[in-house]
């Protein structure tokens, strides 16, 4: 498979739908790390949530909702990953400020967001969550900019099926 410099596959022509294989990517995380999605698959389901911006009211509510329900996700065997266009340094500040126990991925060039079809809405990208099973298949997609905390409930419901 061809890869761009950002580590994103270039052979995907449309965003994933439920039942499709989740697109692979490699991107920087807070703490100076790198996340390669396929390193996690085959082990656990993944809840990959795209959010507009660190430390804004809706995004903070969503992140804290994932944090507050984190034990339910880990109890279901799942990994939670947040992703936005903010820098890794911004993610570090955001995670520390709100004690977030899961990785935050930096998608500064928007390539991962584009790969997943998470389109911009105005100046900020939309809020979309993908639930991916351990085999790498998308089992649930929820998109709602306004209903930030509902992403947690919808994700937990998709994991239980």
Question: Which pLDDT belongs to residue 150?
Answer: 75
Contact 129, 50 (CB under 8 A): yes
User: At 125, is the pLDDT very low, low, confident or very high (cuts 50, 70, 90)?
Assistant: low
pLDDT digit string (tens) for 4-58? 334 444 444 678 999 999 999 999 998 889 999 989 877 899 999 999 999 988 8
Please confirm, yes or no, whether 59 is among the known catalytic residues. yes
What residues does each domain of the chain span?
A: 54-159
14 burial level (CB within 10 Å; 0-12, 13-18, 19+): exposed
**What are the tens digits of pLDDT across the range 60-87?**
999 999 999 999 999 999 999 999 999 9
User: CATH number for the 54-159 domain, one of 3.90.930.12, 3.40.1010.10, 3.90.76.10, 3.40.30.10?
Assistant: 3.40.30.10
Of 22, 35, 59, 132, the catalytic one is 59
């Amino acid at each position: 498979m061809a890869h761009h410099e950002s580590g994103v596959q270039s052979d995907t022509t449309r965003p994933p739908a439920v039942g499709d294989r989740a697109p692979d990517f490699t991107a920087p995380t807070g703490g100076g790390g790198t996340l390669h999605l396929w390193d996690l698959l085959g082990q656990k389901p993944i809840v990959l949530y795209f959010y507009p911006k660190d430390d804004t009211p809706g995004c903070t509510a969503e992140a804290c909702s994932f944090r507050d329900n984190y034990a339910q996700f880990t109890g279901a065997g799942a990994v939670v990953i947040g992703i936005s266009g903010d820098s890794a340094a911004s993610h570090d500040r955001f995670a520390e400020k709100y004690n977030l126990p899961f990785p935050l991925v930096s998608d500064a060039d928007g390539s991962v967001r584009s790969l997943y079809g998470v389109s911009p809405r105005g100046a900020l990208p939309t809020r979309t969550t993908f639930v991916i099973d351990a085999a790498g298949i998308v089992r649930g997609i929820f998109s709602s900019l306004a209903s930030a905390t509902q992403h947690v409930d919808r994700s937990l419901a998709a994991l239980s099926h």
